[in-house]
Structure 1
Amino acid sequence: MTFDEILAQTIELLQREGRVSYRALKRRFSLDDEYLDDLKIEIIRAKRLAIDEGGEVLVWTGVQRPPESGSEPRADAPTESRVAAHPTISQEGERRQLTVIFCDLVGSTPLSEQLDPEELRELIRGYQHACIAVITRFDGHIGKYLGDGLLAYFGYPRAHEDDAQRAVRAAMGIVAAMPTLNAEQGRLPVSLKVRLGIHTGLVVVGEMGGGAFREQAAIVGDTPNTAERLQKQAEPDSVVISAATYQLVRGLFDCELLGALSLKGLSAPVQAYRVLRETSAQSRFEVAMQAGLMPLVGRENESAILNERWDRAQSGEGQIVLLSGEPGIGKSRLVQAFREQIRGAPHRWLESHCSPYHQNSALHPIIELLQRTLAFQSDDEPLTKLARLERGLEEYGLSLTDCVPLLAPLFSLPVPEKYPRLTLTLEAQKERTQIAVQSWLLSIAEREGLVMVFEDLHWADPSTLELLGHLLDEVATARLLAVLTYRPEFTPPWSGRSHFATITLGRLLRPQSEGMVKNVTGGKALPPQVLDQIIAKTDGVPLFVEELTRVVLESNLVREQDGHYELAGPLPPLAIPSTLQDSLSARLDRLGRAREVAQLAATIGRDFPYELLRAISPTGDSALQKALAILVEAEVLYRRGLTTQARYFFKHALIRDAAYESLLKSKRQQVHSRIAQVLEEDFRDTAEAQPELVAHHYTQAGLPLRAVPYWRRAGERALKLSANLEAVNHLNNGLRLLDTLGASVDEIAIRQQQHSALLYLLGTAQKRSGNPLESHETLLQAANEAQKIGSSELLIDALQQLTINAYEVGLPMASAVPLMREVLLTLPADDGLTRAKCLNVLARALSMTSSTQEALSYAREGLAIARQLADPESIVRNLGGMAYALQSLDHVMERLEITAEMLKLSKHITDRDLLHDIYSFRTWTLFEAGDREEAEAAIERHRCLAEESRSPFDIALNTVYRAAWAFMQGHFAEAERFAEQAFAIGRQLHAERATGILGLQMFSLRREQGRLRELEPLVKFFLAQHKEAGAWRPGLAVIYAELGRREEAQDQFKHLARFDFADIPRDSMWMVTMTYLADVCTFLHDEARAATLYEMLLPYEHLNVVIGGSTVCCGAVSRHSAALAATLERWDDAQSHFDHALTRNTNLGARPFLAHTQHHYAVMLLARDRPGDSTKAKTLLKEALATARELAMRALAERITSGSP
């Protein structure tokens, strides 16, 4: 064979295999050392098609051989490779995460003095070519030659998921190439050494300059500067990397920490590391295993399949499991979990990984598998390895004569002369080698039971796939389980047989993702909004969940507090973890021109209609649909619907984010502006239904003047739909934009137009979403702004909401009254509606300051104007103002008429706050008046409104109503449950009255349950803290009376009666205080004070005892009047009152208070002792005892059975 023929065949072999050892070439072509040297010089130096690696191997660096004309891509080639054979370079520029290498020759200045310029030029060219060969091998890009230095980067124009690893490997390869280069330049009196610095970070990459000075792929940013500064810190022939790069290659390389280095030109120190060597870890998953894996989550079914197939394999039914799933979905984790599950069973486990670096290295995964089987060590001598090979073959009964000559070349080992020299053709040798490998593995399986794992089959070389195909044909009767993992773009060339099983890993469900987050946080809860973002961004991909959660924990977004995490400030959108950035960019780069469509679509959002994309795309219909088809095929997008009616969805939020963030900010703004304009002009229904979309796009376009009105519309629409939290977000967005405006005429005008309105709407939304204190502050700001710009209507609206807010959560309103009086004076006489609204607000505010008569006067004036205008909404608002002013017990019947009219007009009302007012007033009044059916209907209607509005306050208030209703009917457990629910909401609202309401409810419940003794310490504590407040002293007096402690009851009662009860405030607690006193007075049999109390209660005979605006309802007032009359021995009056109370409590369904009435009535009858009284008393006592026992009213039951009054 001639030299030229050997040269041609060697080049062809290198193109196909990528790497060939010199030993293999010598054996294949029977070369001597001199002939081999000539071949190396021709390939390495003359043709520059390969480089020498360590003096042992030739590594191909030339262009891959193109497919023959008309040939099809491999059936198993990734989808993306068919889409984009060559990456494209953007002329506009892109934002990218790149890993940048800065390489510089050491001592280049002395070299220039030592060498002739021509010699120096040749030397530097050789150095550059050596660098280029290594960088090209790892698919890097030479960015710039800088004299004797060069800048290279990884991640553009095509990204890889391991660009940082490639960069570090390339840097180490450049260092390793220096001895060979020096040997080739041996005639020159120099020894070349290099320094390399590497940094990973964000850059803008694209065309710069012009004419002859145009750079097609220049990079801008601090990343190349940092790499260059790190290079200066490196020792000769060493590599220094930044912490950002180290985080991406940690565990794959041994590194030495250099500490935080102060680098020239950089404001902050940079943590740096010196790279020492590559570790044995084959993947980031192996690194993660060494650090400790998170528990496997949500793969129970898949684990069961693997275990079931292993059971079959052990019994001699060989099995193949094809395990498919996208990157990060958990294929390797599932395999590792399976390994842990079968660890106790006898078997042999062999595992190998296919690698993107070895796709052109024949049988690389098989060789790696066998090397692990033979326990080869990196520092083993060839003879040691050969001995291990021979022992391994002999162990399983294989012929050394047949196998060693075939297998030794796989490991670049010399074949001893004792073995026959092979005289086979290349094809025959290949076939015999495959059979030998196959026999070896089947022998292992037969003896020990074998689990054979090949990971990442999508990167396998054709020879490996061919060998696997032959092996899998023989598996059916072997004790072998083969697990083959790969990504969806790979189609296995073998399937459809009975001993094959296919597992496709899908996304985790939300609870499973939440479980993963909890594992990462060590069981500590994240704030709900942070958890929601993680779940939304990661789409159930375990790697995404884990990495994004780690980023959150390592950031300043959250801080640990009492066993959980809380937000440290406002929550921005979560950024793509740097550990995922390269992988996501790589997926996009494989799309070719379709990538540009993905970027455009990403600007619209996570999902988008085809028609909107078509409207903003410069691409024609046919080309656009073709690009979308590519995106769907590559599983970047999902499609729902057909052709022009289709809607598309990004499969992963992070893919969408990566596509979007790769656009230059200026380009993004242009696209956002175009989208907003198209929505306004061509998609008006969408713009009207979703104004937040238009607002978002104008905001991102940097056009606040256009965006703010849409944020306001979005807030108004959300409020109408009771989407209160969304309204808060929209309105805050608008306000933030207003803060960015300058001092131009247009900007000042829009600020004046929008600021107070946005604040008013925000205050309303905050109130409805359960933040009354924030709402109060916001509404005060809105009122002040409205006053500044002279907007009376907006000022009144803000004050109206302030009044409602203040009433609901107990905030002061006195300071707002002068402002409202001032507004009233400035209103024009002919603006009746605004005047009526102002009068109504003023009446409500005055009612809260106990200025009842003045409030009533304003309310009547406002109502008169509203009636004159015949405006239903205004009438209802002002009737509500009347109801506010008429809160006392003396006006219950008048209030009943007012609320009846409000109810009648409610069919004309759409404002939910106003409807809430109607049913709130109505419920409270009906509780006092005692109409059971109407009260029950009002509570139910109020509940529906509260749930529709999603207002926490309304929900809490309705829950209080339901607690009161349940208590009145004797459903004590239900009442307690409702009371606790209402309190929980009230506490979240920071409502000051929540604790007082719960206290009254629990006091009433415990009294009926005979458990007042439990509350005595608490009531004493509150009385000590608030000696003159509310019902604490009357409550303590009741406790003493109920417990039979006469002297203590007497002391408290005397204190309360010192002014004949005239000092007791006539507020919402007056009635319950009077009934408590009536009960204590009856217990003490204090006739003098009984007369006073009787006269005070008599006007309210027709009402019920309602505590604190429907907090608790204790049945008819007449029961207490009757007990006082009996104390005074006014028997006929007592009987009349008792009969009234029996009827009223029966009609109300107030069973506990009916039982109390029956008991007290019976005691009165026994004391009066007229004919027939005893018989009637026994009947009443029997009925009362039955009810008391049924409802677990222990105190009442004990009094009845003991004969106590």
Structure 2
Amino acid sequence: MQCPLCCRVNRPDARFCDACGVCLTAQAADEAAVALVVGREAELAALADLVGRMVNGHGAIVALVGEPGIGKSHTAKTLARRATGVRTLWGRCNEEPGAPPYWPWLQIMRVWLEGHDYDELQATLGAAAAPIAEILPEIRHRFRDLAPLLPTPDPQQQRFRLFDAMTGFWKAAAATEPLLLIIDNLHWADASSLRMLEFFASEIADSHILLLATYRDTELGRQHPLSVTLGDLARYGHFHRFRLAGLNRQESATLIAQSGGAGLTPPLLDGIYSQTEGNPLFIAETTRLLIQEGVLGRRAEGRTAAPRLLASIRIPEGVREVIGRRLNRLSPQANRVLECAALIGRTFDLQLLRRVLDETLAPNLQNTIEEALQSHVLEPAEQPGWFQFSHALIRETLYDEIAIPARGGLHLQVAQAIEERYKDDADRYLPALAHHYTSALPGADAGRATDIARRAAERATRLLAHEEAARYYRLALQAAGAMSARDPVLTTRLLNALGESLTATGEYLQAREAFEQAMSLATASNAIDQITRAALGFETATWAPGLAGQAAARLLREALAAQASGDSIAKAQLLSSLARALIFSGEDAQAAIVREQAVAMARRSGDTGTLVATLVATLSARWQPERSAERLRDIDEALRLAEGEGNVLGALDAQAWQLFELMELGELSTWLERLEQFEYRAAELRQPFVRYVAATSRATFALLEGRFDDAERQIAQALQIGRRMPGLDAPGVYGMQMFTLRCEQGRLRDLAPLVRAFVNAPPRAGMWRPGLALLYAEIDLLDEARSEFEALAADDFAVVRHDALRAASLAYLAQVCSRLDDTKRAEVLYAMLLPYDGRNLLIGTTVGCFGAAASLLGLLATTQRKWQDAQRHFESALTMNFRQGASPALAHTRLRYASMRLARNADGDRDGASVLLEDARAAAVRMGMRTLTERIDEVRRSIGPASTPVCPAGLSAREAQVLRLVASGLENREIAKRLFLSPNTVANHIRSILAKTGSANRTEAAAFAIRNGLAG
């Protein structure tokens, strides 16, 4: 066995280190401490139950919570020791800010890697190897032939790919051996590690993984990153939290005895217990102090303390005081060395510490470390030559006692020592260097500190740790501000980089502030490239959360004005972004003009990638249905160019738009074929946003076909994918799809509070107002519906813009208008909706589909009493909805058409309405459309029994209609097409007809029809 202090090998039968005689004793003491458990059996029993459930495939996340020293880590160690048949892996978060991004996850992963050979790695990692290798170089070293990942321009998608790969890997690893993953001191985790935990938590409910995390609740405020994570975890049924309280009086006495506190008297126990309140660390440290002071231990054993002695004993009032008093018993030299060690971190490399110490301390370092080990202030770390403070509070106490003026100099010494010690691997230590150099200001070289912090930020960006990148860019800006000669261009670059990192994390407000500052500085210094970067970044951070684009348009115009004359790629990008900003500003006509300029300039630039990106980006400037041909032309061109250049991601972007166009045109067989290709490429390339688009499209398709159970499951799956990408409005899309589903199911009352909350919550409240008006109308709150409708109808519905939600808004408003019987507004809405005739009405791209627009055009024509137009539209809608299998839309259309015919009341209308209502009701009942069924029944009752035609042999109106067509010689498929029924439904009708009429075949049935006047 190797001694961490002197690096000599002991004899196999030795129980102590030949060189120092301490290290093995300390290790044995630690093992003994783990073996002894006081006052935690209830929690351990509950945790053991979760381990058992995990072994059976029910994964969980567990949090051990409590104040410092309450025994969180000790309880976790005990669970790990008792969890037989389970592989335990530890990751520990560092309290000092210089730890690398994803540090606890990297520790866990490295330990797992060390225990598996190449074949095992290959079998477990699979396709996850390449994404994980981006943050863990050891994987690339083990897989020399690992193909590079296809780059993804969107940093959020890149990180999704990483998190998805990491989660998939752990689930695969746990399939071969159950895993207990422990992350200690989660309150010190970097924000990127917390985001990975949130992603991980959503995926492990059906795995053989139990992840246990410890954290101090005393460290958390509302703004602490962990507070957000805990709120996210609390949504899951497989998340459990155990709060550890102090030990009771008897348990405290037991712990004192186990810590060597012989000679304990009841009054002394009372004193210790009242001060420590049962905190195990406080009790143990107080016991050690009292042993050192001769109050407890062998010298006090068997002795009854006199009242005078007890009165002279002062129990420390806090754990920091007891630590301080124990440290005071160490030599002055030991305290000075330990202060330097504390500045390095809780765990430190002895050789690094030696470089930090001055010439008076370095020669006696070994003796000093031995003194600290014997006093249980330090303990050996797992890595030879490394040590750690026995508790984080000891390190914190020492650090806080360093005089502030002296800290800067010590931080600088540590930074220089790290550079000297690890000069061959300096990039790996950039986070620690950035922490120490910036903490050393103003005594350190501000330029050097700025450069180190910038490089640390760039490294974090490469590792997709965007929260950490933002933190280091802020440190770099702080250091740049301390430079004697200010460099505005450098500051501008740092601000733009900060804005990009904040955008990647979804912190759009802060990102826009950074870009605005960058724009101001860049303009003052005429840094054209940074002006361009700031304007483009600001616009991205504006449209991504769906905010109005006026401010972005202003900055983009300023950036365009600053460009040199002539064509350039930068100008094409700025014009493309400006077109989108104008759409989000409601300036549709101007957006179309700018879009043409952007595409023309992209063509002249000669850069194919820029042209593809511009063609796709400017599609959003042309939502008008009458411009569909232009969009299809640009989509086809973008696809051809992207595929010709091998630009797979550009091709996927274009294909996403192609899916929208195909669904709007109702070409669902082609749409489904292209969607399957799209899904295949998404899975192959592990592109998260593409997977999200595919998931929402599948949910929309299920809604369109009336498969509501499938739709609800797929909507939830889409949300699960989408919410892992910061900045993506996955909850908004989820809300839209659930609103559509509940509307079809007749359950809108369930969503009323949710929709009201959305309407009252800026910045995207306006998008929900038409939906709220429909909700009121659907649940018969007509006064409220009228109030909303009147507000939206101002200036001929000017609020309805030519954007992604125009079709949905018109669909909602048309239904409300009809329900309110508002003839005047029906004329306005009819004109607005007419360009969609012959198309489906979609929410966004593929968020939802209402079926044929002709159905709502017929509804508005009915409201205006324009019967011929209404009939034409309804016949068109029946044809389109039947052809594409849009069963709910078909049922709605039949009810609307039936209601129109009853209102018109021409010859044959009542009979025709009865048939339509019969078919609509059968479909509504089959699909569980409760409200639609009730409305159909209401209309049927209004017809009255006398108006229902009496058919011979008890045939229903629809069966009589089918029999007429049989008698005319039509086959089932032709009848189905004529009546907008499925061939199976027609076959069922014919079987019923044969049974009711006593006919043996179709010929006899036709003869029955002729005899009873049903033919002709």
Superposition TM-score, scaled by structure 1 size: 0.44
Q: Does structure 1 retain, via aligned residues, the 8 Å contact 2:808–2:843? A: yes
Once the two structures are superposed, residues 221-266 of structure 1 have per-residue CA deviations (whole angstroms, 9 ceiling, x without a partner) of xxxxxxxxxxxxxxxxxxxxxxxxxxxxxxxxxxxxxxxxxxxxxx
CA distance, structure 2, for counterparts of residue 715 and residue 335 of structure 1: 48
CA displacement at 1:805 relative to structure 2: 2.1
Stretch deviating more after TM superposition (711-720 or 1091-1100): 1091-1100
- Sort the Cα spacing of 1:583 and 1:829 in 2 relative to 1 into closer, same or farther, 3 A: same
State the match for 1:715 in structure 2: 457
State the match for 1:765 in structure 2: 501
Once the two structures are superposed, residues 951-992 of structure 1 have per-residue CA deviations (whole angstroms, 9 ceiling, x without a partner) of xxx999999989877866535866997999999999x9999x
CA distance, structure 2, for counterparts of residue 907 and residue 617 of structure 1: 61
Of Structure 1 and Structure 2, the greater helix share is in: 2
State the match for 1:691 in structure 2: 430
State the match for 2:877 in structure 1: 1137
Stretch deviating more after TM superposition (1097-1106 or 700-709): 1097-1106
SS at match of 1:1203: helix
SS at match of 2:304: helix
Once the two structures are superposed, residues 465-500 of structure 1 have per-residue CA deviations (whole angstroms, 9 ceiling, x without a partner) of xxxxxxxxxxxxxxxxxxxxxxxxxxxxxxxxxxxx
Which AA in structure 1 matches 2:528? S
- 1:1187 pairs, out of 926, 940, 950, with 926
The question of 1:802 aligning with 2:542 is answered no
Which AA in structure 1 matches 2:304? E
State the match for 1:415 in structure 2: none
Q: Does structure 2 retain, via aligned residues, the 8 Å contact 1:670–1:701? A: yes
Q: Does structure 1 retain, via aligned residues, the 8 Å contact 2:901–2:910? A: no
SS at match of 2:245: coil
Q: Does structure 2 retain, via aligned residues, the 8 Å contact 1:979–1:998? A: no
CA distance, structure 2, for counterparts of residue 634 and residue 983 of structure 1: 53
- 2:569 pairs, out of 833, 841, 844, with 833
Q: Does structure 2 retain, via aligned residues, the 8 Å contact 1:1122–1:1134? A: yes
Alignment map for 1:29-68 (pairs within 5 Å): none
Larger Rg: 1
Which AA in structure 2 matches 1:807? W
CA distance, structure 2, for counterparts of residue 1117 and residue 363 of structure 1: 93
State the match for 2:448 in structure 1: 706
Q: Does structure 1 retain, via aligned residues, the 8 Å contact 2:748–2:775? A: no
Alignment map for 1:34-433 (pairs within 5 Å): 297=245, 322-323=258-259, 356-358=292-294, 364=300, 366-368=302-304
Gaps of 5+ in 2: 1-15, 27-242, 263-267, 279-286, 943-1016
Once the two structures are superposed, residues 1126-1158 of structure 1 have per-residue CA deviations (whole angstroms, 9 ceiling, x without a partner) of 8724656533321211233x3xxx664354345
The question of 1:673 aligning with 2:412 is answered yes
CA distance, structure 1, for counterparts of residue 931 and residue 659 of structure 2: 30
- 2:389 pairs, out of 650, 655, 660, with 650
- Sort the Cα spacing of 1:715 and 1:1134 in 2 relative to 1 into closer, same or farther, 3 A: same
Q: Does structure 1 retain, via aligned residues, the 8 Å contact 2:412–2:440? A: yes
State the match for 1:1009 in structure 2: 746
CA distance, structure 2, for counterparts of residue 870 and residue 1050 of structure 1: 54
Once the two structures are superposed, residues 531-583 of structure 1 have per-residue CA deviations (whole angstroms, 9 ceiling, x without a partner) of xxxxxxxxxxxx9xxx8xxxxxxxxxxxxxxxxxxxxxxxxxxxxx7x61562
State the match for 1:606 in structure 2: 346
Q: Does structure 2 retain, via aligned residues, the 8 Å contact 1:1068–1:1109? A: yes
Which AA in structure 2 matches 1:606? R
- Sort the Cα spacing of 1:898 and 1:1060 in 2 relative to 1 into closer, same or farther, 3 A: same
Which AA in structure 1 matches 2:437? Y
CA distance, structure 1, for counterparts of residue 523 and residue 453 of structure 2: 23
Q: Does structure 2 retain, via aligned residues, the 8 Å contact 1:909–1:915? A: no
- Sort the Cα spacing of 1:1042 and 1:946 in 2 relative to 1 into closer, same or farther, 3 A: farther
Of Structure 1 and Structure 2, the greater strand share is in: 1
SS at match of 2:302: helix
CA displacement at 1:1010 relative to structure 2: 5.2
Q: Does structure 2 retain, via aligned residues, the 8 Å contact 1:610–1:647? A: yes
- Sort the Cα spacing of 1:845 and 1:1081 in 2 relative to 1 into closer, same or farther, 3 A: closer
State the match for 2:486 in structure 1: 748
CA displacement at 1:877 relative to structure 2: 4.0
Q: Does structure 1 retain, via aligned residues, the 8 Å contact 2:330–2:371? A: no
CA distance, structure 1, for counterparts of residue 688 and residue 758 of structure 2: 41
SS at match of 1:1115: strand
State the match for 1:777 in structure 2: 513
SS at match of 2:544: helix
CA distance, structure 2, for counterparts of residue 1101 and residue 984 of structure 1: 35
SS at match of 1:1114: strand
CA displacement at 1:755 relative to structure 2: 1.6
CA distance, structure 2, for counterparts of residue 1163 and residue 1001 of structure 1: 28
Q: Does structure 1 retain, via aligned residues, the 8 Å contact 2:716–2:734? A: no
Q: Does structure 2 retain, via aligned residues, the 8 Å contact 1:943–1:958? A: no
Which AA in structure 1 matches 2:563? L
SS at match of 2:486: helix
CA displacement at 1:707 relative to structure 2: 0.9
Q: Percent identity?
A: 23
- Sort the Cα spacing of 1:636 and 1:938 in 2 relative to 1 into closer, same or farther, 3 A: farther
Once the two structures are superposed, residues 868-909 of structure 1 have per-residue CA deviations (whole angstroms, 9 ceiling, x without a partner) of 555565345423441232233333464466567767888999
Which AA in structure 2 matches 1:605? G
SS at match of 1:850: coil
- 1:724 pairs, out of 466, 483, 504, with 466
- 2:579 pairs, out of 840, 843, 856, with 843
- Sort the Cα spacing of 1:353 and 1:861 in 2 relative to 1 into closer, same or farther, 3 A: closer
Number of aligned residue pairs: give it: 672
- Sort the Cα spacing of 1:1029 and 1:842 in 2 relative to 1 into closer, same or farther, 3 A: closer
State the match for 1:882 in structure 2: 618
Which AA in structure 2 matches 1:765? S
Alignment map for 1:914-929 (pairs within 5 Å): 928=664
- Sort the Cα spacing of 1:801 and 1:589 in 2 relative to 1 into closer, same or farther, 3 A: farther
CA distance, structure 1, for counterparts of residue 586 and residue 480 of structure 2: 40
CA distance, structure 2, for counterparts of residue 1100 and residue 851 of structure 1: 21
The question of 1:970 aligning with 2:918 is answered no
- Sort the Cα spacing of 1:581 and 1:768 in 2 relative to 1 into closer, same or farther, 3 A: farther
Q: Does structure 2 retain, via aligned residues, the 8 Å contact 1:833–1:874? A: yes
- Sort the Cα spacing of 1:1054 and 1:787 in 2 relative to 1 into closer, same or farther, 3 A: closer
SS at match of 1:1072: helix
SS at match of 1:887: coil
Superposition TM-score, scaled by structure 2 size: 0.51
Q: Does structure 2 retain, via aligned residues, the 8 Å contact 1:896–1:926? A: no
- Sort the Cα spacing of 1:898 and 1:604 in 2 relative to 1 into closer, same or farther, 3 A: farther
CA distance, structure 2, for counterparts of residue 580 and residue 840 of structure 1: 60
- Sort the Cα spacing of 1:1115 and 1:614 in 2 relative to 1 into closer, same or farther, 3 A: farther
Once the two structures are superposed, residues 797-835 of structure 1 have per-residue CA deviations (whole angstroms, 9 ceiling, x without a partner) of 111121122223454543554554343344235782333
Gaps of 5+ in 1: 1-72, 84-294, 308-319, 342-350, 380-454, 460-542, 548-576
Q: Does structure 2 retain, via aligned residues, the 8 Å contact 1:892–1:925? A: yes
State the match for 2:145 in structure 1: none
Q: Does structure 2 retain, via aligned residues, the 8 Å contact 1:641–1:647? A: yes
- Sort the Cα spacing of 1:368 and 1:1005 in 2 relative to 1 into closer, same or farther, 3 A: same
- Larger relative contact order (CA 8 Å, sep ≥ 6): 2
- Sort the Cα spacing of 1:603 and 1:1111 in 2 relative to 1 into closer, same or farther, 3 A: same
CA distance, structure 2, for counterparts of residue 965 and residue 1040 of structure 1: 26
